[in-house]
Amino acid sequence: MESVQAIKQRFGIIGNTPSLNRAIEKAIQVAPTDISVLVTGESGVGKENIPKIIHQLSHRKHNKYIAVNCGAIPEGTIDSELFGHEKGSFTGATQTREGYFEVADGGTIFLDEVGELPLTTQVRLLRVLENGEFLKVGSSKVQKTNVRIVAATNVNMFEAIQKERFREDLYYRLSTVDIHLPPLRERQDDIHLLFRKFASDFALKYKMPTVKLTDNAIQVLLKHRWGGNIRQLRNVAEQLSVLEQNRTISVDTLKSYLPTSGTHLPAVIKTSKSESDFSSEREILYKVLFDMKSDLNDLKKLTMELMKHGNTKDVEKNNESLIQKIYGDDNEDDAIDYEDSLENTEVIAIPEHSSNNDDTTNSHDKYHFAEEIEEEETLSLHDKELELIKKSLERHQGKRKLAAAELGISERTLYRKIKQYNL
């Protein structure tokens, strides 16, 4: 059995972090077996090296090794890519095609980004793992294959299982052995070693002197989060090698090539609000609606009092607490607005049925009639007020201060009316 150090040299792996060494040790140990392996870790940590190590140290090393990026194959064609198809099985299938599992019979298949597989394909893959059987697309003939499957993912598999995006039984079949590769930020002692290796490689590639970092620049390099891990570090080294004339890289120069804040790759764009966001907005909307309903009921009550008594002073005196509730949070101008509105309100007399002979007219009929008049008048006042506010805002080109002055109300009151009428 080869040593960890020999494997590093053979596959060009740089670093001495214990967690990295442990991952390589596990790969060496499982290589002679046929058990399935799941490689986990963030994007850019070098997960593709583990299946290569496993294949080269296994008895399958003289057979085919096929790496498949599951996330790069369209959902409609991935079954055909993996398992093959029969001629005429779908539009464009002009001839029979062998899939990867048939081609790699006796070898190893590396399924990168296995967490992106569609659920229907996951069912087919589970059958291959269980008994080595598969069906070509459009075929009813069961075929057998003898492949070693090594999968990799940067997805949180337990979260994917909970959200029913990945089958739990397939996860446990794939992860007979789980090999985790640490992110670069947890391999601080390896960061500068990797940078020097990349800088040397690019100097040789582009035929130019190797870039070197100052001591302060090295400290910045070590403290950076490296959300893109080794892939990001390699890109920075290449950019510095190609673009910088001065081959000694200072702190300021290095910082100009680093993002201002660390990111986790792959980037996930939030396209929809979470349930908690919707719940919070719903609660706020309910509160606003209930407050509006309460204010409307209070205004209806005041209007009824005004219609019954006809005296604004009496109405104001008898309903002082109600008026304070509605207008208490406004300034003095609002109070004047309210008094003006009461004085200018047209009081409609409710005719009384005084005839003693009309037994069919009772108190319920009188109240119902008053309620109808109240509803008509409320609608009339609402429309009039809305019309006046619209005209004033249009005349002053949306300037609330001028419109409020013209209407004889405070700017605060006008703002509240604009929100109320959704203008």
pLDDT band at 325 (very low <50, low <70, confident <90, very high): low
pLDDT confidence tier of residue 391, bands split at 50, 70 and 90? confident
What does the alpha-carbon distance between residue 94 and residue 89 come to, in Å, rounded to a whole number? 9
- CATH for 185-255? 1.10.8.60
Task: Give percent of the chain with pLDDT exceeding 90.
Answer: 57
pLDDT: is 308 or 33 the higher one? 33
Give the domain ranges of the chain.
Answer: 4-182, 185-255, 275-421
pLDDT digits (tens, 9 = 90+) for 129-166: 999 999 999 999 999 999 999 999 999 999 999 999 99
Predicted confidence (pLDDT) per residue in 203-250, tens digit: 999 999 999 999 999 999 999 999 999 999 999 999 999 999 999 999
Q: Which H helix or E strand runs over 206? A: helix 188-206
Q: Which CATH superfamily is domain 4-182 in?
A: P-loop containing nucleotide triphosphate hydrolases (3.40.50.300)
Q: What is the mean pLDDT of the chain?
A: 81
DSSP 8-state secondary structure symbol assigned to residue 8: H
Please list, in sequence order, all residues whose beta carbon lies within 8 angstroms of the beta carbon of residue 147, skipping any fewer than 6 positions away: 101, 104, 105, 106, 107, 108, 109, 128, 132
Distance of alpha carbon 101 from alpha carbon 361, whole angstroms: 91
Q: What does the pLDDT read at residue 122?
A: 95
**Taking phi first (over 0 means left), then psi (-120 to 50 degrees means alpha), and beta for anything else, what does residue 343 get?**
alpha
Say how far apart CA 139 and CA 93 lie, in whole Å: 13
Is the pLDDT at 376 greater than 70? The verdict is no
User: What mean pLDDT comes out for the span 361-375?
Assistant: 46
Q: Angle formed by the axes of helices 4-11 and 49-56, to 10°?
A: 110
409 Cβ contact list (under 8 Å, min separation 6): 333, 334, 337
- Show the beta-strand stretches assigned E in 355-419: none
pTM, entire model? 0.61
Average pLDDT value for residue range 186-196? 94
Q: What is the pLDDT of residues 247-291, one digit of tens each?
A: 999 999 999 999 875 444 454 444 444 555 555 566 677 667 767
The b-or-e profile of 180-217 (16+ CB within 10 A means b, else e) is ebbbbbebeebbeebbbbbbebbbeeeeeeebebeeeb
Residue 65 pLDDT = 97
